[in-house]
Amino acid sequence: MFADYTWTELGSIFAMQGFAGLILFSVFVLMALGLAIIFGQMGVINMAHGEFMILGAYVTYLCSNFVEAHFPALFGIYFFFAMALAFVAAGALGALVEWSLIRHLYKRPLDTLLATWGLSLILQQAYRSIFGAREVGVSLPNWLLGSVPLTDIIEIPINGIFVMVLTFVIAIGVYFILFRSRMGMQTRAVVQNRVMAGAVGINTQKVDRNTFALGCGIAGIAGSAFTMIGSTGPTAGQLYIVDTFLIVVFGGAASLLGTIASSFAISQAQSTMEFFLSGSMAKVLTLLTVVGILMLRPQGLFSLKIRR
Amino acid sequence: MNTINNNTDFLLSIENLTVSFDGFKAVDDLNLYVDENEIHVIIGPNGAGKTTVLDLICGRTRSTDGSIKFRNKELTDMREHEIVREGVGRKFQNPSIYEDLTVFENLELSFPRGRSVWGALTFQRDQDVKTRVHEIAGMVFLDELLDKQAALLSHGQKQWLEIGMLLIQDPELLMLDEPVAGMSVSERKQTAKLLNEITKGRSVMVVEHDMKFVEDIAHRVTVLHQGKILSEGSMAKVQADPKVIDVYLGH
Amino acid sequence: MTSIKSFMSRQELIGILVIAAVLFIIMPLAMDIFRLNLFGKYLTYAFVAVGLVLCWGKCGILSLGQGVFFGLGGYCMAMYLKLEASTPEATAIQSTPGIPDFMDWNQITALPWFWEPFNSLTFTLLAIIIVPAVFAFIIGAAMFKRRVGGVYFAIITQAIAAILTILIIGQQGYTGGVNGITDLRTLKSWDIRTDEAKYILYYVNGALLIAVLLLSQIVLKSKLGRLLVAVRDQEDRVRFSGYDVSNIKIFVFCFAAVLSAIGGAMFTLQVGFMSPSFVGIVPSIEMVIFCAVGGRLSIFGAVYGTLLVNWAKTTFSETFPELWLFGLGALFIAVVLIFPNGVSGLYQSYLAPLVDRVVSTGKRKGRSDTAPPPSSGFGAETTAKPAE
Amino acid sequence: MRRVKDIIQSRMSRRSLLAGTAATAIVAATGAVTPTFADEANTTGLAVTDDTVQVGILHSVTGTMAISETGSVQAEKLAIEQINAMGGVLGRKIEYIQEDGASDWPTFAEKAKKLLVNDKVAAVFGCWTSASRKAVLPVFEQYNGMLYYPTFYEGLEQSPNVIYTGQEATQQIIAGIDWVAEEKGAKSFYLLGSDYIWPRTSNKIARKHIEKLGHKVVGEEYYPLGHTQFNSVINKIKLKKPDVIYAIVVGGSNVAFYKQLKAAGIDMTKEKPLLLTISVTEDEIRGIGGENIDGAYAAMKYFQSLENDNNIEFVKAFKEMWGDDVVIGDVTQAAYLGPWLWKAAVEKAGSFDIDKVRLASPGIELATAPEGYVRVHENHHLWSKTRIGLAKPDGQYELIYETADLMEPDPFPEGYQ
């Protein structure tokens, strides 16, 4: 399979594929972080996660239209407002869903799966009714388009860099929220011992709601970022959900570091295989490998050995 | 290490047993022996590794090092149900019974026959089973409640039911994790009586906090502290041991 | 009478008779062949739902990959039918006559080896049972021996459904790809597309469903049935009662898989084609909702649930095509939040006491002194306690 | 949305009314004896009355395919409305019963059967994907219905019960490749597609034709439907440096592909490489964003920007009915042809009878088609031109080239299999 290429070309291949893998990695991390919080920390299976992402994408779409029409001068930087709004919108919807649906189901994780699947159907149809069945295009400011040429073959897409930086910032942010803030401490306390946390004065209901909202909000940001590379349609969210769950489970559900590591492993494997095999087979092989490893090591890549 | 020999007369011999969780040694180079027909009680402060020892014996937790021999058979690489079939029974701290089933069905499921998939499918509720279930139910004070759904029993009755479920298996070694926790005073008395009754012809290991209860039943006591044996012997000897007093009172 | 009693209570006997009456008498009288064929198609999903009652409702194993087994059964049947439809005469127009049309379009010039055995009907019928059973055994053995359960199992089975779909679509030369295996005509030169054939297939389907219900009933009323519930509620206790829990789980998972596969094969026969759209994630999860709506603890409920949801889906989408997803979504949520035991739960709490009273008043005189001793009674599961 | 039940009821009441009032021969089952015009039309066993005839519209309104099929539904409804405004078919107004295929193939088969068996419609306009067509095909053949199928597709099919108003593969591919080879001097091609039968078959034909011209295929690649990460294949393209990227990516993948292509620094306006697609119509561009596909070429038979009188009128009517912001793609136009071709065939046959309509169909001409003149071939496909359009940032194609003659449809092309 290497025979067709010269050495310089091979060098470029690995450089470019590495970079393609990094973009895929960022995408995976963005998708999975919100889910890792909700699933890993709360044990809730949110099958509507993809729809929260798409909500973020639609918010971005509305923003871009609004800004383009009313404040064309600000168009270059609208994306940042849009992301903030996407976070707020998805987070607010998340809080609402937690209040009306999820909080009744904490003891029945498999039932959250069914209920949130129902929710995802409703959201999909809602998007379809509001925005139409067709995909919508989000126009991007010019500085986000195009690429930086490194050599005559290697070019680095600007939106790829943007997504990577964004992922980095959000990952750091999540780390601080969960491990360095009071809210994070409370969240972890509730996860580890709900009764005790309640007894020492933590409002467990509020913590649950905030955690869920945070996870959904991050999904919203992810959706917003995806408008740069993917499509925004009512059913686009479904494309991501299985991959995302596999990433989180593969990483070891309770571990954020695991999520990041598994995103990295899966993205690099997939992008490398895509180069040498056909796209379909690369996908099948990647998923098969992940499932195979999970069968051998069900707790995922990273997990604490805990006393029972 | 002072490994004595490979074959012992003990029913259960634990030697150099170690288990560590991410570097933390919950049980550390433990040696412990249980005689035939002995009631052996393990006490110790919280986190001493008492429950972990029971978990290790019954295969729920895998050891890092060391051996557990039951009738000179190595248990450490056997799976849980195989260990049970060897004759080791285990009762958990919280009553673990099948709440959706009746008392009768709970006991019937524990009856040691038809344990394979096919066996369970072709299992017949014959006279043997019925007689044995009634007999055991009588022992654990539940003969009036056979048709009651287990979820509706009181906490103490659930504990008894679980003990009954072990008895019907007729194990040679019975391990009980805090059998009287959460029981009323009268229930404790009844339980002590029950234990004295059922230990005839078998060995029992008990983890317990209630010193009064321990005094009532124990033949031998082992005090665990931080995964290691602090003291061992009769109740009186252990109670007089300054190390034990230090651990219990010094904290 | 005693032999029936040993695996069926009076209520359950009534339940099965009612279903038989609905299937064999009421529906054929009430519907034209078009609707009846549609109804028969729904019934094939009921096989999956019954399997899910055992696997998920009773034993607590939620599989989101039942479509895989439905598809395997369906594809086995479709492969046989397709080979029969691809005689050299019928495919004379192709560059390689005698092989299925989609292979010819994909430049395949000889029948692949794994298609060969499907020339035999006996092999095909065996394969419909064995292939999914073996596949389920492999998955089950790998997962349950390693104690993968609950949510993890659900997600992994879902991933398997995704993988198989991509694989079938990607290997279209061997599988028919996204179009599936279409244009199936005859079974042993008996035209399965005629109205008469549809009637016969409907009855075969109904009889198989009754047989499957009886079989499931036998399993549930044996000690194994009670063990399933025990595994769901107190897995450790079962293990420490000397049972190999993984074997029990593998058995019930394989059993459910085989039921699904029978449904899939009947689907192919009645609908006349098979495609990857029954293998994937969405159909698999829809099958779970059929089971949930019917009541995850009742095999009879599962049949009614399947029929109800599909009927609603067809009606909704005929009347308000743009709104039916809202309805379906709301149904998912309602069945989880408001009535976790589904239709059968509602029946148990409202109608059953009534039915019981009516039936037992008629019988009381005759059997008051022959009532079985209390200890041989079976505890009916009445608690609203969904599997976790 | 019309309710089926209402339609059936109104038909029933009309019948009983007629039967009660006068002796205007309703179901003269024997009636082959010099029937009047109206009588014959009413005795086909189809849902035809003295002043209405029912047809079916069968597309996905829900599910993943709803995105693509909406345009076809709109076009079919427009055509039906226009025909009714002109007095209908054989003096009867067309009523349509719309069914939702829900992007689910068995549902398509089920609904097709319902339309044919229960509603007894005289024709069905519908289906979009090959899979849905394959699913309904046995139903149409068994119950002898008539399907007008609008999508450009892979060919390899020729059913007496289907009129294919879109192009089969050779009509889209061969002229397009000839054009890039001649006009643009293209010598090497990179074939890319979504992983299912249409892109694979099309690429197979493309490859044969490219090799026939003495040029080279440097890569061929398929991605699962819905795939959204194309960086790897873009890298391969950069390495292989083909003259032409021949792209048959569909659905949501499209959007990701073109956005990523642009982001990776492949500027299609520079035509190095040039991109030629047969899967992106104006409809898809809305999702992709005109700025992302600026400079790509498409080989189609219709573009919204065509400047003939038929089309100008069609676009105007379409926008009047469905709003100013709609766009019209190749398939939408082909769907629009369906009702008109059916009308012409019915009128030529003088009957709604399926067999007569079928016999009358070959040779039917439509001079009023927005794409220009079309004619039905004996093989039930349409003679039509191949056109090359250049994508503009505003989301429209600019017509660059069209074949001088109509291309003959050839669903089983010799030498391309």
Number of domains in chain B: 1
What is the share, in percent, of chain B residues with pLDDT greater than 70? 96
pLDDT at D29 over 50: no
- Computed over every residue of chain B, the mean pLDDT equals 85
Confidence of residue B189 (pLDDT cuts 50, 70, 90): confident
Structural domain contains residue B170: yes
What does the pLDDT look like over B23-43, one tens digit per residue?
788 888 889 899 888 889 998
What is the share, in percent, of chain D residues with pLDDT greater than 70? 89
Rg of chain D over CA atoms, in angstroms? 22
Q: Are C109 and C96 in contact (CB under 8 A)?
A: yes
What mean pLDDT do residues D36-55 have?
72
Q: Which residue segment(s) compose the domain that A82 sits in?
A: 17-240
The tokens of C286 are what? 């829809």
Structural domain contains residue C35: yes
Cβ–Cβ contact C199 with D under 8 A: no
**CA-to-CA separations, B185 to A252, B158, B189, D130, in angstroms, rounded:** 45, 16, 6, 77
- Can you tell me the distance from the alpha carbon of D401 to that of D301, in angstroms, rounded to the nearest whole number? 11
Residue D137 to residue C322, Cβ atoms within 8 A: no
Confidence of residue B230 (pLDDT cuts 50, 70, 90): confident
Contacts 24+ apart (CB under 8 A), C2-11: C6/C221, C7/C217, C7/C218, C7/C221, C7/C222, C8/C217, C8/C221, C9/C378, C9/C380, C10/C359, C11/C352, C11/C355, C11/C356
Structural domain contains residue A190: yes
Angle at CA of residue A159, ends A156 and A160, nearest 5°: 55
Cβ–Cβ contact B101 with C under 8 A: yes
What does the pLDDT look like over D362-384, one tens digit per residue?
999 999 999 999 999 999 999 99
Chains A and B touch (3+ CB pairs under 8 A): yes
CA distance C348 to chain A (A): 21
Specify the pLDDT at position A3.
56
The more confidently predicted of residues C263 and C96 is C263
Structural domain contains residue B4: no
What does the pLDDT look like over A63-80, one tens digit per residue?
988 888 888 888 878 888
Amino acid identity of residue D118, one-letter, is: N
Q: Which residue segment(s) compose the domain that B221 sits in?
A: 12-250
Which residues 6+ apart lie within 8 Å of C114 measured at CB? Answer: C174
What mean pLDDT do residues D98-117 have?
87
What is the share, in percent, of chain B residues with pLDDT greater than 90? 14
Number of domains in chain C: 1
**CA-to-CA separations, B116 to B112, B189, C241, D139, in angstroms, rounded:** 11, 38, 12, 50
What does the pLDDT look like over A256-293, one tens digit per residue?
888 888 899 888 888 888 877 777 788 888 888 888 88
How does strand D382-383 pair with strand D374-376? antiparallel
What mean pLDDT do residues D331-341 have?
96
Residue C241 to residue B165, Cβ atoms within 8 A: yes
Specify the pLDDT at position A295.
78
Structural domain contains residue A184: yes
What does the pLDDT look like over A176-212, one tens digit per residue?
888 888 888 888 888 777 778 888 888 888 888 988 9
Specify the pLDDT at position D283.
86
- A58-97 residues touching C, CB cutoff 8 A: none
Specify the pLDDT at position D42.
57
Residue A122 to residue C336, Cβ atoms within 8 A: no
Residue D135 to residue C182, Cβ atoms within 8 A: yes
Cβ–Cβ contact C354 with A under 8 A: no
Partners of residue B84 in chain C, C-beta under 8 Å: 239-242
CA distance D55 to chain C (A): 15
Specify the pLDDT at position D146.
95
Number of domains in chain A: 1
pLDDT at C261 over 90: yes
The SS3 call for residue B31 is strand
Cβ–Cβ contact C138 with A under 8 A: no
Partners of residue B122 in chain C, C-beta under 8 Å: 222
The more confidently predicted of residues D110 and C71 is C71
Confidence of residue B10 (pLDDT cuts 50, 70, 90): confident
Cβ–Cβ contact A149 with C under 8 A: no
Confidence of residue C3 (pLDDT cuts 50, 70, 90): low
Confidence of residue D13 (pLDDT cuts 50, 70, 90): very low
Residue D110 to residue C41, Cβ atoms within 8 A: yes
Cβ–Cβ contact C96 with D under 8 A: no
**CA-to-CA separations, D265 to A150, D235, D295, in angstroms, rounded:** 11, 11, 13
Structural domain contains residue A225: yes
Of the candidate ranges A141-150, B224-233, C300-309, the one whose mean pLDDT is the lowest: A141-150
Q: Are C153 and C246 in contact (CB under 8 A)?
A: no
Amino acid identity of residue C134, one-letter, is: V
pLDDT at C63 over 90: yes
Interface probe for A, chosen from D233, D235, D266, D272 (most Cβ of A below 10 Å), is D235
D169-300+385-402: which CATH architecture?
A: 3-Layer(aba) Sandwich (3.40)
- Can you tell me the distance from the alpha carbon of D32 to that of C223, in angstroms, rounded to the nearest whole number? 71
pLDDT at A307 over 70: no
Nearest residue of chain A to residue D232 (CA atoms): A275
The SS3 call for residue D403 is coil
pLDDT at C194 over 90: no
Q: In b/e form, how buried is each residue of B150-159, taking b as 16+ CB within 10 angstroms?
A: bbebeebbbb
Structural domain contains residue A145: yes
Residue D260 to residue A229, Cβ atoms within 8 A: yes
Specify the pLDDT at position B8.
61
Residue A12 to residue D239, Cβ atoms within 8 A: yes
Confidence of residue C359 (pLDDT cuts 50, 70, 90): low
Beta bridge partners of B39: B204
CA distance D224 to chain A (A): 5
Cβ–Cβ contact C260 with D under 8 A: no
Q: Which residue segment(s) compose the domain that C328 sits in?
A: 2-360
Q: Taking the model in full, what pTM does it have?
A: 0.86
- Cβ-based contacts under 8 A for chains A and D: 137
Q: Are A191 and A42 in contact (CB under 8 A)?
A: yes
- Can you tell me the distance from the alpha carbon of C110 to that of C126, in angstroms, rounded to the nearest whole number? 24
- Cβ-based contacts under 8 A for chains A and C: 124
- Can you tell me the distance from the alpha carbon of A111 to that of A130, in angstroms, rounded to the nearest whole number? 28
What does the pLDDT look like over B62-80, one tens digit per residue?
888 888 999 888 988 888 8
What is the share, in percent, of chain D residues with pLDDT greater than 90? 56
Of the candidate ranges A23-32, B164-173, C370-379, the one whose mean pLDDT is the lowest: C370-379
Q: Are D298 and D404 in contact (CB under 8 A)?
A: no
Structural domain contains residue A248: no
What does the pLDDT look like over C99-108, one tens digit per residue?
898 888 887 8
CA torsion sign for C97, C101, C104, C105 is positive
D4-166+315-383: which CATH architecture?
A: 3-Layer(aba) Sandwich (3.40)
The tokens of A136 are what? 């919508």
Cα C316 to its chain centre, rounded Å, is 23
Q: Which residue has the tokens 């061997």?
A: C174
Q: Are B73 and B237 in contact (CB under 8 A)?
A: no
- Computed over every residue of chain A, the mean pLDDT equals 83
What does the pLDDT look like over C127-173, one tens digit per residue?
999 999 999 999 999 888 888 777 888 888 988 998 999 889 888 88
Residue A155 to residue D286, Cβ atoms within 8 A: no
- Among C95, C272, C314, the residue with its CB nearest the CB of D417 is C95
- Can you tell me the distance from the alpha carbon of A170 to that of C240, in angstroms, rounded to the nearest whole number? 46
The more confidently predicted of residues C154 and A240 is C154
Residue D265 to residue A155, Cβ atoms within 8 A: yes
